[in-house]
Chains A and B, each alone.
Chain A
């Protein structure tokens, strides 16, 4: 039975342009490329699911193929759906751990001292490598000792003092690993007269999708759509997020691969820099302190896919003193949990090698990117510090001691 939700494979002209731009196909001959794995093989799989082959696992869902496609074929969606419809392998405990970011985050922050030390210990990494198949070379992001949610509950500023309100979807990374970035968002929005509310959100679902937990991802989607819609009604403002991948999920993965009706929130979600760009144009005075740094900007794949790179570039351009250098947009390789899997790790590092060279050629003081997992990968590849664009804005907004320069 043909599922009529995504018959875009029928628009494929077989031009093979997607395969030219596929970072995985470039790195390894084991992946036959998005055209063959996606629209080509989909025809066969519809006829006979037995015809599925395990090269699907190499797709990192970076969506560069969709960005390159001249015919609007949702290639990555076809591959992702096929992966979990036709090709079910046994689930590894590792994939469960990587997929469930809120569960890991809960324990990670509760036991931050222990977990961070263990994750850095050679013997633990060695055992994880052997038994769990998480490569020992890949550094783990550190857990924070307290969550963003807790900070916001105890110390979050009252949103009602501001003329405008926005609902902030902070995501798991801000909650469990980098609450400081969440505070940067709150401060920058406050400087522009926008008060922040948060909801009792769950993980956006991207790591669940990537590891085959589609039912759970759908539950998260329904929970988030309902909670965000209600909060946005109360706030009378938009829903913003500073994670490019969370934004992509809320806007496109929910109605796409998860087939959840997100119309209650779809038009109200804005990636943060899209929300900020016009407001900063009206209020350049809030960026009071220069940030005299040369930064290399890496545009994450999912931000590129949703057409958001223009906004971040625009926002960076407004920061006084900043010298932003735009890198050619190429995948960093990590693709969320992909680069944490031992069998895929060499591919992830091979994909990232080009980006590393380009960054080092710029000789930047810092690297800037919108995506947390890109940031981990780039820090690991280059040894340079990587920050979110909103952190640069926060330095300029707050001025004084908060800036590292």
Chain B
């Protein structure tokens, strides 16, 4: 079995790389050990939200332009500003082709509202979370209502409203809360609090009870100009249901990301995978790459957990296995490990120095910046210190950045995934 490119990891970075390669006509296969961290994500793509001093950044590209001097090892510096711009625009177009519209505030950041009512600086948001209409409405100081449905355990409007009321941007906007009784029928008579967002989403996907839900929203928030709802308005059906709800209520409705499985993240996962299938890419879910065979300074093939002794060969490989959460990095009692190839992970020798003193430490946690170190061309160094010619690393497996403190995780995944694809094409002699 031989592919042009084999991508290890089916998350944001791996899928972005695979899409770019499939577009260039490469035979690409993506191996994914279980579903990716997109299922736990907000569906917004952060680019650069906070500077090292903790100050919110409104102009992410200005900050990125200064990054080489500030953080020379940052993965963004392996991409370059032009590639980052191209990657973002490519990513947005690919999502749009599958009907997932991403909104950006020109080249500036905007804020999306979290389930806790904090405002998070981000670059792209699904247009059901933020869009021009919401942006303009905010100038007028709209009356905002945050609603949930009765018995839903995963979202607390009072908590969200309490934080929002303290925020300077909401000083002109009175924030109220309320509950709607979802008129959705459950044939078992199961109490509604047992439904997760995904269950509710499926009911909306079948276009059930849209009119009744609109009426319930009007009753719960008669005064509001703008209504925030937890993101449960369908996996695919939201594109029909949400505009209909707005039409019926006469209110602007936006979605708030919820606890996993996150519907906003799932929509992005679906869009990227559908697009990949449409471009002829092959996605193998549920199989974990566990090692590889190196010959003459090149990775010749890899082996997987389920595929057994047979090896999978490719001209190029992209390692996009994610961070600790996805198993791309593993913490052992005495050291950090990259489990597929045993790549070097530099970390503080003392385990107690891996973490900050507090859970929400203002100085963040050192381990968040640990990962695979690469050369200029995103090629990770093997245990002997030398890179392989045809193995590239992308996304959260990379060292040198702190996705939480910088609010940069999505952007790094998209940019380095895209950059890795370009490097593969370059290596093949293509001028992309």
Contact = CB atoms under 8 A, between A and B. Distances in A.
B34 A71 contact: yes
Contacts of A42: none
A314 B3 CA distance: 10
B4 interface: no
A100 to B, nearest CB: 30
B261 A310 contact: no
A81 B251 CA distance: 51
A304 interface: yes
A15 B282 contact: no
Interface stretch (A62-70, A174-182, A209-217): A62-70
Contact of A72 (B34, B40, B188): B34
B312 interface: yes
Contact of B198 (A16, A274, A314, A326): A16
Nearest to A30: B188
Interface string A55-98: 00000000000111111100000000000000000000000000
Contacts of B304: 307
Contacts of A30: 188
B286 A15 contact: no
Contacts of B199: 29
Contacts of A20: 35, 39, 198, 261, 266
Contacts of B260: 15-17
Contacts of A26: 202
B196 interface: yes
Contacts of B309: 267
A66 B286 contact: yes
B176 to A, nearest CB: 30
A72 B286 CA distance: 9
A366 interface: no
A309 B35 contact: no
A257 interface: no
Contacts, number: 85
Contacts of A69: 34-35, 286
B168 interface: no
B348 interface: no
B186 A29 contact: yes
A71 B277 CA distance: 25
B404 to A, nearest CB: 18
Contact of A310 (B1, B33, B326): B1
A164 interface: no
Nearest to A314: B1
B287 A307 contact: yes
Contacts of A66: 286
Given A16-B198, A313-B282, A70 B188 contact: no
B286 A307 contact: yes
A68 B286 contact: yes
B187 interface: yes
A278 interface: yes
Contact of A328 (B277, B286, B310): B277
B285 interface: yes
A71 B304 CA distance: 15
A277 interface: yes
A42 to B, nearest CB: 19
A21 interface: yes
A326 B278 CA distance: 9
A145 to B, nearest CB: 38
A310 B284 contact: yes
Nearest to A64: B286
Contact of B39 (A17, A32, A277): A17
A311 interface: yes
A335 interface: no
Nearest to A313: B282
Interface string B68-87: 00000000000000000000
B16 interface: no
Nearest to B274: A328
B198 A68 contact: no
A230 interface: no
Interface string A30-51: 1010000000000000000000
Nearest to B36: A70
Given A15-B261, A29-B199, A306 B33 contact: no
A310 B39 CA distance: 24
B286 A310 contact: no
A19 interface: yes
A226 B12 CA distance: 46
Contacts of B308: 267, 270
Contact of A305 (B186, B202, B286): B286
Contacts of A71: 34
A16 B277 CA distance: 25
Contacts of A305: 286, 306
A70 to B, nearest CB: 3
A17 B282 contact: no
Given A16-B198, A69-B34, A267-B309, 7 more contacts: A19-B196, A32-B194, A67-B34, A67-B286, A68-B286, A310-B29, A328-B277
6 contacts: A16-B261, A30-B188, A67-B285, A69-B286, A270-B308, A277-B1
**Nearest 7 A/B pairs, CB to CB:** A67-B286, A70-B34, A307-B306, A307-B287, A17-B35, A307-B307, A68-B35
